[in-house]
Structures are given as structure tokens and as C-alpha cells.
Amino acid sequence: MTGGARRTLADREGALAWLFMLPSVIYILALVAVPFALAVALAFSDVTVGDPSFDWAGWANFARNFDDPVFWRALGNTFLFTAVSMLLIVVFGKILANILVADFRGKWLIRFLVLLPWTTPVALSAVAWLWLLDSIYSPIDWVLRRIGLIEGNLNWLGEPTLEMVSVIAVHVWRLTPLAAVIVMAGLVAIPREIEEAARMDGAGFWRRMFEVTIPLTLPVIAVAALFGAILTFTDMTVVYVLTRGGATHSSEVLASWAYIRGISGGDVAQGASIALFLFPLLLAAAIAILRAVRRMEVT
């Protein structure tokens, strides 16, 4: 009877589907849904580190955000940070993917080395970049002086424009390997017959790139852009470790400002209200990209 019961359960695909999905559902509820609901509740409260009692505050925290010039600067920096980083990540990821799919000796070692920036803990790699971008001992400045591009040291993490350039450069360095791996999977999936037919028709490298390779990998590139947008829009580690947002908040982003106000500043409710602004913006970006991917697949 036990064996019959097991066979019956094994034949019930619907029950097995829910059984296999249960760990994922529990994971999402515990680590996504519950914290999100808590953040929504805190955003409409007056909870602080000194007074954790929950009192309804309505839209007061959001009104304070709208009156805060640092919030608007962080919002603008977030869009700039995300847009430039996404563009560079996708472009460099595509170039790197084309290199990695080429047939050459030692390509497995190169692939391993390329993945190191992504696999290295972000705090550890950001600390390493603190030394690389040091205003006195930066080896990057030493190289630039040697080749005659600069005369003195550059204040990479102290001058407003260079702060944002440095933060974007480090973030692109981190996420480009992930985009390259995603795009590489799309390149490998392209049938060889299509490329060979294009070669036989006399198509050169650039024509094959823009008329064959890129159109066929556009859905994969869009997925890479979606991952890049999510990881960039919600990232605060690179900004916080490198610049702490800058002396004049010149490199502040929403995620870092929410952390500074909610955790460092002790105003948990306002920090939660700032963080909530990330959700509708990310949702809109995700829907737009996924709709674009669906249209690409249909056409």
C-alpha cells in the first residue's frame, strides 16, 4: 500500500509541482515579502532607533523627503549612475562575450579570470579600489603621469565629477563579467549554420555583427540590461565604501542615502520611505524591459 501511495503521488504532476516550488515560495516570503511589508509599514510610521514604538505618521516621511535637497540630488545621481552604468555594462559585456566565445588556447583560464571581479565580495573589491584611487599613492595616477597624461595627482574620491566617474567605473568593472556570461550564453546558442550562411554570402565581421549576431541576441542582451539595472539601482556598497556619498553628497544615491538616514542617522521611518522609492522605479524598468524582450521574441 505504501508503494502504491508513492506511485500515486509520483504520478500527480500538480502536487509535485507545488511540492518542488514550496522551498522557493518560503524563501521569497521570508526574505522578500516580509521585509518589503515591514518597510512599507515603517515608511508610514515615526519609528526611530531611540523610540521603536509604532505610531502612524501618514505621508509625513514622504513630505520630508520632497523637502530634502539631498533626496533630489540622490535621485538624480541614481538615474545617472544607473543609465551610464547600464550602457557601459551592456557594451563592454557584449565585447567581452565575443572575445570569450572565440577559440584560442587558455580560454578557460581567461574566463575564470574574467569572472573574478563578479565573484569577489563587493566590500573587499571596493576596499582594494580605495587604494587604487588614493589621492597620494594611487598607481593609476603613477601610470598616467608616466605616459604624460597628467602632471600631479588626481583627487579621484574628493572632487565631485571624479567621484561619480570613479563610482561608475568600479561598478562597471564589477558587473561587466556577469553581463558577458549572459550574452555569451546567447552567442553560443546561435546556430552555426546561420553564421556560415552569412559568411558564404560575403558578409564581413561588422555586417555579421549588426545584421546577424546582435538581432539574434537582443533578448539576451535585454536580460543582461535588466540584471544590470536591478543590481545598479539597488547598490550602495560601492558608493558607501568609496565616497560615503561625498562631502557635498555629489555621489549620493537613493540606496546609500536611505542607509545613512535610516541606519546611521537612526531615523528608521524616513530611511524606509526613501528606500520605497526604489520599488516603483525598478518595477517600471523591469516591466519595460520584459515587454521589449517579449516583442523581440515574437518578431
Per-residue pLDDT reduced to its tens digit, 270-284: 999 998 888 888 888
Alpha-carbon distance of 265 to 263, in angstroms, equals: 6
HEC string for the chain: CHHHHHHHHHHCHHHHHHHHHHHHHHHHHHHHHHHHHHHHHHHCECCCCCCCCCCECCCHHHHHHHCCHHHHHHHHHHHHHHHHHHHHHHHHHHHHHHHHHCCCCCHHHHHHHHHHHHHCCHHHHHHHHHHHCCCCCCHHHHHHHHCCCCCCCCCCCCCHHHHHHHHHHHHHHHHHHHHHHHHHHHHHHCCHHHHHHHHHCCCCHHHHHHHHHHHHHHHHHHHHHHHHHHHHHCCCHHHHHHCCCCCCCCCCCHHHHHHHHHHHCCCHHHHHHHHHCHHHHHHHHHHHHHHHHHHHHHC
CA gap 141, 132 in Å, rounded:
9
What domains does the chain contain, in order, with CATH numbers?
A: 1-43 (no CATH), 60-298 (1.10.3720.10)
Confidence tier at 105 by pLDDT (50, 70, 90): confident
Residue-wise pLDDT tens digits, 140-174: 888 888 888 888 888 888 888 899 999 999 999 99
Residue 198's contacts (CB-CB under 8 Å, 6 or more residues apart) are 207, 208, 211, 212
* CA nearest neighbour of 265 among 59, 38, 68: 68
Residue appearing with cell numbers 571581479: 117
- 23: cell is 522551498
Residue 294 above 80 pLDDT?
no
Cα 99 to Cα 39: distance, rounded to the nearest angstrom: 43
Predicted TM-score (pTM) of the model is: 0.83
Is residue 41 within 8 Å of residue 54, measured between CB atoms?
yes
What pLDDT digit, counting tens, does each position of 108-144 carry? 888 788 888 888 888 888 888 988 998 888 888 888 8
**Confidence category of residue 41, pLDDT binned at 50, 70, 90:** very high
Lookup: cell for 9? 503521488
Pairwise CA distance, residues 147 & 181, whole Å: 33
Mean pLDDT, the chain, as a whole number?
84
The cell for 245 is: 556619498
Please identify which residue in the block is written with the cell numbers 522605479: 281
> What digits encode the pLDDT tens for the residues 71-97?
999 999 999 999 899 899 989 988 888
Residue type, 109: L
Residue type, 174: R
Determine the Cα–Cα distance for residues 20 and 18; give it in Å rounded to an integer: 5
**CB crowding 233-250: b at 16 or more within 10 Å, else e:** bbbbbbbbbbbebbeebb
